[in-house]
Structure 1
């Protein structure tokens, strides 16, 4: 696990005038991999700082609208995010873009794959389509209540999430939902500093961006995973205790995505993006369209 500051920071101006904030690690001429970050984090939190260079990877993070350095887009959708990424890729010169979604970033990454923007994709400790009927009886009670609230009244649920709190409340929630395996990663001093800075940056404009992300993650996806043609790797740790990640560690999702390859690591938790960065990135680089 090696956390380093971004090598490059900037913004892209979209055709509608909005700005998207981005950060990069690794060589500028490397193979581009776009990380769709987890809940309430920002472009400041990368991964694999010690391997992106040797692997020849240009790792990119982008603040979703309303978070960090990206302008808000009220009422935005997962499909809208995919189009933002399409425009960013064109502006930044990112051919053959791979996408990786961590935790709540999973549906955002898969939206890019479903839209044909990504040539390959990975989901790491990702949330699933929690509102899908397959999970009706397997969600933790508090997660089921959130899913039902989004289904019944999306605007009301968004207002509720907006009032949840800020970076400190989310940090406390992450630790509370984590088992010993992950808590030891998150509370390592260097990692904790980077993670908490990324959270503080995410809430710099207030809680609206986080609230909209959560509504999108808790609702039905506007795309069919069965339509994804790019190769997809699903990574889960058997010791992951998060109630908002996939209830069955990606088993259902692997059946729904024809091109999926599922990895369940017996000794890993939900923090495997950082504990197994090299394996995740090597597999992503090696996948080719079937």
Structure 2
């Protein structure tokens, strides 16, 4: 069975579409858990209209906002009866065959996690673009997933696109997630792959609709340097776990990424200083590259 968890917060506008897209799945071996994180809109009214649906096993309302979606993930997973989990974000929606096709591939490839391809949509459900495929075939080993795909960034960019095994969750991850504002899902997928046994699969169809709002959280995070402040320690953790040497290629990759972000997002002096100090503490040679760049620029 799949336990579908909808962590909801202020998404009254999209909530009915999301819940219906779960209930209408062609694969019907699931329970639905709806968790509202003290929404300020009329989300509760929408949620209550599903109170007596036989697929809905739990509806819970927080009296105080949790401050992080990962607390809601944890709460839902602790309630879950299924062997598999689908975190269905409340502002996204899915094709009705999403569970059928992801579960089919999970069974075929003995997968720890399986994700579909995604459309990026706007507030009005208009498709803005397609996200490219991640895997060359329909599956890969966990080692390949960690060493080649998750090492430098989060290729599994939206929780709604993923179904994963509950027993692969490292329970110690929750305390770490509470400290992250942007890269928590990257850490979560990495720990699943480290803790699980089997493969990673990708359905080569666009079955997930990932909503990109006008107030883009990702852009704000990039401008604040969170890709580096939160992401670099995750990358280094993966490298250590996989026995990957932190050599010239690793360091230059991260330095070049820093320079790209610095220019593209016009990072402030304060943000650049935070990133510099991070590298100085965790990988001093990357900080040295920056000092060298500044020195050469000064004496051009």
**TM-score computed with the length of structure 2 as normaliser:** 0.26
Q: Which has the higher contact order (CA 8 A, sep 6+)?
A: 1
Larger radius of gyration: 2
More helix by share: 2
**TM-score computed with the length of structure 1 as normaliser:** 0.26
